[in-house]
Structure 1
Amino acid sequence: MRDLSEQEKFWQGDFGNQYVERNIGQPLVAASLAMFAKALSRAGRIDSVVELGTNAGNNLQALHQLLPESELFGVEINESACAQARALGIAQIWQGSLFDFPRERTYDLSLSKGVLIHLAPELLATAYAQLYALSRRYILIAEYYNPAPVEVPYRGNSGKLFKRDFAGEMLDRYADLHLLDYGFVYHRDPQFPADDITWFLLEKRP
């Protein structure tokens, strides 16, 4: 059995539980739905989705509304979040670290939203490998963007929030990945505000 990293234990514990309580509610689902509608507008048919870092299932709820026929899968390390996501009854939820999720199949879309920013930089290569290996065609990354890597203090904690060009690093790493579309969601958007998220839709091409 692999020993969890300090960060994984951090999100598995009380801080992760508090995060769950702060990040639930229909306004968040609505904002996610608006973002996904734009982010996936240039994608083809999507019959299956896997989200690495599902939390309580806001994104899965949005995707269920947008892609009602799609098979949805979530991966979540926090027990409380996992239980809430399962209770929605719309997706299969696997409890554990995204680094341990088995690559038993591929999905039309693999997704990371607000997850890569919370990983230690030395873990990113493994996270990218998971996103890439699990994707049959599309990868959607929705995170905080910065041209150069930078750490940001996070609720009194250090080493827990980072900004960088996650999508660019994946494009450099995998030659068959191409940028299909990208966009930004401003925190002062009058209809569907989000936390200054930049999204990138990548596609695997032969």
Structure 2
Amino acid sequence: MRELSEQEKFWQGDFGNQYVERNTGQPLVAANLALFAKALSRAGRIDSVVELGTNAGNNLQALHQLLPQSELFGVEINENACAQARALDIAQIWHGSLFDFPRERTYDLSLSKGVLIHLAPELLATAYAQLYALSQRYILIAEYYNPVPVGVSYRGNSGKLFKRDFAGEMLDRYPDLQLLDYGFGYHRDRQFPVDDITWFLLEKRP
């Protein structure tokens, strides 16, 4: 069995549990719904979605409202978060690391929101490979953007939060990907504030 990285163990444990407690509630779901409505406005029909790093299911709740016909799947390493996401009864939730999630099928959309920023830089290539391999057509990345890689202190912890051009790195890595759309969610938005996230919708060329 693969030994989990220090990063994965961090999110599997108490810090991950605290994150779950901080990041739940209907205002978050509403803000996510507004963000996804914009981010996916130029996408075609989406009948299946896989989210890598589901947490307690806030994003899946928003996607369930936006794409009621869509089959939803989530991948979550934290046991408490996984249980909460399963209790929503709107998606199939796989408990484990996103790096171990089996590539048994593809999905119309693969999604990462607020997850890549928390991965150690040496793990990113594998995460990109998962997002790419699991996608039938679209990849949505919603993370903190910076033109060059930079580490940021995160609740007193170093080496746990990074900003960089995740989408640009995927576009460079996979020549058949194209940028379909992008945008920004602002924490001062009067209706649907989100955590200064930049989103990128990528599409595989046929």
Q: Give the TM-score band, short-chain normalised.
A: over 0.9
1:115-138 superposed Cα distances (whole Å, 9 cap, x missing partner)? 000000000000000000000000
- TM-score, normalising length from structure 1? 1.00
Deviation for aligned residue 1:41: 0.3
Structure 2 CA distance, aligned partners of 1:49 and 1:146?
27
SS in 2 for 1:133: helix
Structure 2 CA distance, aligned partners of 1:30 and 1:80?
22
Deviation for aligned residue 1:57: 0.0
Deviation for aligned residue 1:192: 0.2
- TM-score, normalising length from structure 2? 1.00
2:12 paired residue number: 12
1:75-117 superposed Cα distances (whole Å, 9 cap, x missing partner)? 0000000000000000000000000000000000000000000
State how many pairs are aligned.
206
SS in 2 for 1:49: strand
1:136-180 superposed Cα distances (whole Å, 9 cap, x missing partner)? 000000000000000000000000000000000000000000000
SS in 1 for 2:36: helix
The aligned runs of 1:107-126 (5 Å cut-off) are 107-126=107-126
Deviation for aligned residue 1:16: 0.1
2:174 paired residue number: 174
Structure 1 CA distance, aligned partners of 2:62 and 2:194?
14
SS in 2 for 1:110: strand
Gaps of at least 5 residues in structure 1 are none
Deviation for aligned residue 1:65: 0.1
CA RMSD of aligned residues (A): 0.3
Structure 1 CA distance, aligned partners of 2:10 and 2:38?
33
Structure 1 CA distance, aligned partners of 2:7 and 2:147?
24
- State the identity as a percent: 92
Structure 1 CA distance, aligned partners of 2:145 and 2:27?
23
Deviation for aligned residue 1:73: 0.0
SS in 2 for 1:51: strand
Structure 2 CA distance, aligned partners of 1:185 and 1:8?
27
Structure 1 CA distance, aligned partners of 2:61 and 2:185?
19
Deviation for aligned residue 1:6: 0.3
Structure 2 CA distance, aligned partners of 1:46 and 1:69?
8
Structure 2 CA distance, aligned partners of 1:80 and 1:50?
19
Deviation for aligned residue 1:32: 0.3
SS in 2 for 1:82: helix
Gaps of at least 5 residues in structure 2 are none
The aligned runs of 1:39-118 (5 Å cut-off) are 39-118=39-118
Deviation for aligned residue 1:49: 0.0
Structure 1 CA distance, aligned partners of 2:77 and 2:186?
28
